[in-house]
């Protein structure tokens, strides 16, 4: 079928959730669907025939139109023949509506319209962003860094849906905490939340744990027992370390996700379940799929909403806040209220790479608290591997703007001195930039400069 009738196109336009407008070369609106009229807050008859700048006043697109006297998708301003921007439209009722606008020029031989504009309502997204930005904590997750604020937004977005979530991240980064936060902020919060550590059980026991079993299903099954899927009915089930699940059980998991029902071991009839699945892993499942170690159909079933928990080295700004929160809990447990981190101890924490992430930070703080004999925790109270670590940046590697840092131990002071001088030189004398590239705080860099007697031999300020 080469063509679609205008009647069919009209039906589609009427049903679309996105708003759609068509403009002629004079920038006048010649057609609009109901969703666009609702977003703008005007009746169809009050919009058609009006110029685009009067409907979207103050937007970048409208300003270009007003300044040039022609549509921004004409002439030299239309190299890509499209325009994408986030705008805010003031409706006649006084409400401000955030919209995502996508405009594109139509083929030159199109006689009815010159360009099309698609609108998507961003009100819900903005509300989620605002909610997350006001938080320093979500459940037991703590952080004010950009990556954690982005994670909080993703958690709230996932919580508003019943879709399956796949949480990835390094060991000890907080994947279980993210899963708990999704459940606690969801409509299932008052229903069961259960976890299964898939790597902790052999295949036969894992199968019985997940799906349940009847009496006599295997040696030792003296009574029937529901599995975790049944126990979590109406709530959420976290499948932790999903990458460790054997292929045989992966097939049965896929069936549960598809059919929404389980079959206990030793039975031949199914039972309906209503469970929201969150899976977590520190492994690269996409690579496992390529290697035939993980089923691709199960992978895509689980990865409806992918969510990545960043490692601690990508959120160093959170370390003081995170350490303070953890230490507060530990101090209550050990009845050592009033103990705090010294400035030197905080600098030590900021300079370390944390291969074990938040879990390692918790262990290091507990070790330090036990070994501290005063009200302030000092660097000497921490484990030797943390105290002796000396950073040397490898800025050509890493994720985004965060350098991957390798640490030298023992007598590597001369090497560190050379690296500091090189970093300052590469930063054009800007010590703040050099400190960021070195992966240390500005205070630590200043102390290193003073220690090596080079503070007066370099230009720039902190």
CATH number at residue 322: 1.10.8.60
User: Are residues 353 and 298 part of one domain?
Assistant: no
CATH of the domain at 84: 3.30.450.20
User: Are residues 245 and 179 part of one domain?
Assistant: yes
Domain that holds residue 74: 6-121
pLDDT (tens digit, 9 = 90+) per residue, 301-356? 999 999 999 999 999 888 888 888 898 889 889 998 878 888 888 888 988 889 99
Are 256 and 205 in contact by the 8 Å Cβ rule? The answer is no
Q: Determine the Cα–Cα distance for residues 315 and 169; give it in Å rounded to an integer.
A: 13
Q: Angle 123-133/146-159 helices, nearest 10 degrees?
A: 130
User: Are residues 447 and 415 part of one domain?
Assistant: yes
pLDDT (tens digit, 9 = 90+) per residue, 374-414? 888 999 999 998 988 744 333 333 333 434 333 333 333 45
What confidence tier does 225 reach under pLDDT thresholds 50, 70, 90? confident
Q: Determine the Cα–Cα distance for residues 316 and 323; give it in Å rounded to an integer.
A: 11
Of 93, 121, 149, which residue constitutes the final position of a domain? 121
Q: What angle do CA 162, 146, 280 make, to 5 degrees?
A: 40
- What is the predicted pLDDT for the residue at 363? 96
User: Are residues 259 and 173 part of one domain?
Assistant: yes
Strands 165-168 and 276-281: parallel
> Is 462 a member of any domain?
no
Q: Determine the Cα–Cα distance for residues 390 and 408; give it in Å rounded to an integer.
A: 5
Burial of 14 (0-12, 13-18, 19+ CB in 10 A): exposed
- What is the predicted pLDDT for the residue at 405? 38
> Is 427 a member of any domain?
yes
User: Are residues 224 and 368 part of one domain?
Assistant: no
> Is 93 a member of any domain?
yes
User: Are residues 255 and 138 part of one domain?
Assistant: yes
Q: Determine the Cα–Cα distance for residues 127 and 133; give it in Å rounded to an integer.
A: 10
Of 280, 308, 336, which residue constitutes the final position of a domain? 308
Pick the closest to residue 277 from 220, 324, 232 (CA basis).
232
User: Are residues 101 and 21 part of one domain?
Assistant: yes
> Is 251 a member of any domain?
yes
Q: Determine the Cα–Cα distance for residues 392 and 455; give it in Å rounded to an integer.
A: 19
Main-chain dihedrals φ then ψ at residue 4, nearest 5 degrees: -120, 135
Of 308, 327, 343, which residue constitutes the final position of a domain? 308
Q: Determine the Cα–Cα distance for residues 241 and 294; give it in Å rounded to an integer.
A: 12
What confidence tier does 235 reach under pLDDT thresholds 50, 70, 90? very high
User: Are residues 147 and 11 part of one domain?
Assistant: no
- What is the predicted pLDDT for the residue at 439? 60
Q: Kindly report the pTM of this predicted structure.
A: 0.61
CATH of the domain at 137: 3.40.50.300
In this prediction, what percent of the chain has a pLDDT beyond 70?
79
User: Are residues 345 and 281 part of one domain?
Assistant: no
User: Are residues 179 and 110 part of one domain?
Assistant: no
Strands 236-240 and 193-197: parallel
- What is the predicted pLDDT for the residue at 138? 85
User: Are residues 102 and 244 part of one domain?
Assistant: no
Instruction: Tell me how long the chain is.
Output: 462
Domain count, the chain: 4
Which residues neighbour 178 within 8 Å (Cβ) at sequence distance 6 or greater?
141, 151, 155, 167, 169, 280, 307, 309
Q: How far is residue 3 from each of residues 8, 20, 248, measured CA to CA in Å?
A: 10, 20, 48
> Is 1 a member of any domain?
no
Q: What angle do CA 194, 139, 165 make, to 5 degrees?
A: 50
pLDDT (tens digit, 9 = 90+) per residue, 77-134? 444 556 788 888 888 887 888 888 888 888 877 777 788 889 988 877 776 666 655 5
Which residues neighbour 248 within 8 Å (Cβ) at sequence distance 6 or greater?
203
User: Are residues 221 and 343 part of one domain?
Assistant: no
> Is 240 a member of any domain?
yes
Q: Is the pLDDT of residue 181 over 60?
A: yes
What confidence tier does 1 reach under pLDDT thresholds 50, 70, 90? very low
Q: Determine the Cα–Cα distance for residues 244 and 246; give it in Å rounded to an integer.
A: 6
pLDDT (tens digit, 9 = 90+) per residue, 261-282? 998 887 788 899 999 999 999 9
């Amino acid at each position: 079928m080469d063509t679609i009738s205008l009647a069919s196109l009209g039906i589609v336009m009427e049903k679309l959730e996105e708003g759609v407008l068509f403009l002629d070369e004079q920038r006048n609106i010649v057609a609009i669907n109901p969703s666009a009229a609702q977003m703008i807050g005007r009746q169809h008859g009050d919009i058609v025939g009006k110029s685009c700048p009067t409907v979207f006043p103050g937007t970048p697109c409208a300003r270009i139109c007003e300044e040039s006297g022609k549509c921004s998708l004409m002439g030299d301003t239309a190299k890509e023949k499209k325009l994408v921007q986030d705008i805010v439209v003031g409706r006649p009722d006084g409400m401000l509506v955030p919209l995502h606008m996508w405009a594109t020029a139509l083929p030159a031989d199109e006689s009815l319209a010159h360009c099309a504009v698609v609108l998507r309502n961003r009100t819900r997204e903005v509300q989620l962003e605002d909610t997350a930005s006001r938080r320093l904590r979500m459940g037991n997750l703590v952080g004010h860094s950009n990556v954690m604020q982005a994670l909080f937004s993703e958690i709230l977005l996932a919580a508003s849906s019943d879709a399956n979530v796949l949480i990835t991240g390094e060991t000890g980064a907080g994947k279980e905490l993210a899963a708990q936060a999704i459940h606690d902020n969801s409509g299932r919060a008052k229903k069961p939340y259960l976890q299964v550590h898939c790597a902790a059980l052999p295949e036969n026991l894992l199968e019985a744990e997940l799906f349940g079993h009847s009496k006599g299903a295997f040696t030792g099954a003296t009574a029937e027992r529901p599995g975790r899927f049944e126990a979590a009915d109406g709530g959420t089930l976290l499948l932790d370390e999903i990458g460790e699940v054997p292929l045989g059980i992966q097939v049965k998991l896929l069936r549960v996700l598809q059919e929404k029902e389980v079959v206990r071991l030793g039975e031949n009839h199914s039972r309906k379940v209503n469970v929201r699945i969150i899976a977590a892993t520190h492994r690269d499942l996409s690579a496992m799929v390529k290697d035939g170690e993980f089923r691709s159909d199960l992978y895509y079933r689980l990865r409806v909403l992918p969510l990545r928990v960043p490692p601690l080295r990508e959120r160093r700004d959170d370390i003081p806040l995170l350490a303070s929160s953890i230490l507060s809990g530990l101090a209550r447990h050990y009845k050592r209220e009033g103990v705090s981190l010294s400035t030197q101890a905080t600098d030590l924490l900021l300079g370390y790479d944390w291969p074990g992430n938040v879990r390692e930070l918790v262990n290091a703080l507990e070790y330090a608290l036990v070994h501290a004999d005063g009200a302030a925790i000092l660097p000497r109270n921490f484990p030797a591997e943390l105290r002796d670590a000396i950073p040397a940046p490898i800025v050509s590697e890493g994720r985004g703007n965060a350098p991957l840092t390798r640490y030298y131990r023992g007598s590597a002071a001369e090497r560190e001195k050379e690296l500091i001088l090189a970093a300052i030189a590469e930063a054009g004398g800007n010590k703040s930039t050099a400190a960021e590239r070195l992966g240390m705080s500005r205070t630590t860099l200043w102390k290193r400069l003073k220690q090596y007697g080079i503070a007066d031999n370099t230009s720039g300020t902190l």
